[in-house]
Amino acid sequence: MLKKIIFLMALGLVIYSCAKVPMSGRNQLALVSNEELLPLAYEQYAQVLRENKVVTNTAQGQMVVRVGKRISEAVEKYMREQGFEKQLEGFAWEFNLIEDDIVNAWCMPGGKVAFYTGILPICQDEAGVAVVMGHEVAHAIANHGRERMSNGLLLNGLLGGAQAAMGQNPSLTQSIFLQAFGVGGQLGMLKFSRRHELEADQLGLNFMAMAGYDPRVAPGFWDRMSEGRNGAPPEFLSTHPGPGKRKEELQKQMPKALEYYERSTKR
């Protein structure tokens, strides 16, 4: 009887704690509020910057910042127009290039973006950086990390938000946070990764187009990404959608993205 009561309470919490992803409209679990999440993300981001070499006064470093600003401004404009501006409360955009050979980039809640120099040869140029930037910003706008963390807390019986979870089991909560946001090269909870990657592809394609970058370069980037720098794909792609599936979904979204792109070039 007690187990049934606990199950029904958890089910009620799940139903109550739902949110919608902007643009796609998909329902997602949201046991953790951004008010709780953003301070954790900002602290972790600052730690990453302290522990790594940040590239600033170079053409590549400036390019990452430039692309980030263009895309973040386009995203803010879109969110205001669609009535989603509250979802950006507390955002403090930041874009940094980190010197490291790993092929990676990520965006934490609140718009904290890190690019690694290892991905730039695959990007090739500013438009390629925009493909990655749009994709990573989309993860933050779609609250994928919050969703993964919420699922992680629920699966481990840690209900009531991040602060309550920290009080119940701080080490486990910290581990769930790091996995949810892929910090340190982790991919997070892999059974959610494919769905989130395809959704970030869709939203990111639109975001780069809104910022005035031609979305038609995106399929080529994912081709290069699947080949890797030495003819072999990065290991993490084994858990992500294959390039064929990615390109198929991108082509479905391309007409809409081109509409955004044409509007952006007429300003």
Is residue 136 among the annotated active site residues? yes
CA distances (Å), 37 to each of 18, 91, 166, 196, 211, in order? 16, 11, 12, 19, 27
CA distances (Å), 169 to each of 106, 176, 189, 232, in order? 27, 11, 19, 40
Query: Given 35, 51, 136, 147, which residue is catalytic?
Result: 136
Q: What values do phi and psi take at 18, rounded to 5?
A: -115, 150
CB 187 within 8 A of CB 102: no
User: What's the CA angle centered on 124, arms 119 and 127, to 5 degrees?
Assistant: 100
Give the N- to C-terminal CA distance of the chain in Å, as an integer.
Answer: 63
Closest listed residue to residue 41, CA positions, set 89, 113, 99: 113
Residue with tokens 């965006």: 107
CA distance 138 to 142: 6
Which alpha helices (DSSP H) does the chain contain, by range?
Answer: 2-16, 34-51, 59-81, 120-123, 126-141, 144-155, 162-168, 170-180, 190-210, 218-227, 243-265
Q: Annotated catalytic sites, by residue?
A: 136
